[in-house]
Homo-oligomer: A and B are copies of this chain.
Amino acid sequence: MPNSPTVRRMPTYLHRLFRMRNDGEQFVSSSELARYLRIEPIVTRKDIAMTGLPGHRRHGYVIDELIAAIKDYIGWNDKITATLLGAGSLGSALLGYQDFPSYGLDIISVFDANPDKIGQDIRGHRVFNIKLLPDVIKLNPPKIAIICVTSDAAQQVADTLVSLGIRYFWNFANVSLQVPDDVIVQREVIAGGFAMLASKIKYAEKGEHFNLGD
């Protein structure tokens, strides 16, 4: 039932709403939020309608209520525990992502195969030897696994995690993980974003026009 374009716009609304709340504002209109995202106000109204929150004609939406409604809609009121696989550059970057706690994401264990990394403390997280994966996960099972290992290693690590009962993955490796049907994988395709930009550049320079889209 979650609708992808709507859900993906939600964090951007939230970011703006936090700032407005900080500035002491109480109400926001759909056109105000839409202008910031550079979309049509009707899209924003439809998005907000998905959360079930009613607005106030003539005044818009109550910012506090809207923040709560959006957070609830995208599941950011629920705490989600995670294990991070791979403490390389991308993994370390995610460990330093200040916003994660406010998203409800709590990284409770970190693994790497590199002896230089094992035992180290990265941003407050002790890095475990990936050989200890089964033991640590059994002792302290996370809800999701964040895959930041190399593309070559990703499938094997995923297999182990599936066998340990992990059913949700956030995959930053540049592969499509092969998992059982009841396992949910969210892929973060950084190459896909760059492909969009590169092809936009290519067509823009040809003078062709196209929808901005995502």
Query: A195, B36: Cβ atoms under 8 Å?
Result: no
Give the residues in chain B near A73, CB-CB below 8 Å: 199
Q: Does A43 contact B (CB under 8 A)?
A: no
Residues of A18-65 whose CB lies within 8 A of B: 36-38
Contact: B38 with A78, CB < 8 Å?
no
What class of interface size applies to chain A in its complex with B? 35 or more
Does A186 count as interface, using CB distance less than 8 angstroms? yes
Shortest distance between the CB of A23 and any CB in chain B (Å): 14
**A170 in complex: contacting residue of B38, B100, B151, B193, CB < 8 Å:** B193
Copies per complex of this chain: 2
Q: Which of B7, B184, B187 is the one whose CB lies under 8 Å from A195?
A: B7
Instruction: From the candidates B93, B100, B168, B214, name the one contacting A201 in the complex (CB within 8 A).
Output: B168
Contact A184 B199 (CB under 8 A): no
Interchain nearest-CB distance for A159 vs B (Å): 16
Which of A111-119, A130-138, A203-211 is the contact stretch? A203-211
A95's closest neighbor in chain B, by CB? B89
Residues 141-165 of chain A, each 1 if its beta carbon lies under 8 Å from chain B, else 0 = 0011000000100000000000000
Contact with B along A91-110 (1 / 0, CB 8 A): 01101110110011100000
Q: Are A2 and B200 within 8 A (Cβ)? A: yes
Contact of A38 among B36, B168, B176, B190 (CB under 8 A): B176
A168 and B204 alpha carbons, distance in the complex (Å): 10
A99 in contact with B184 (CB, 8 Å): no
A-B residue pairs in contact (CB < 8 Å), sample of 13: A8-B192, A11-B192, A12-B174, A12-B191, A16-B176, A75-B198, A75-B202, A78-B201, A89-B92, A89-B96, A92-B93, A105-B198, A186-B196
Could you list which residues of chain A lie within 8 angstroms of chain B, going by C-beta atoms? 1-2, 4, 7-12, 15-16, 36-38, 73-76, 78, 80, 88-90, 92-93, 95-97, 99-100, 103-105, 143-144, 151, 168, 170, 174-176, 178, 184, 186-204, 208, 210, 212-214
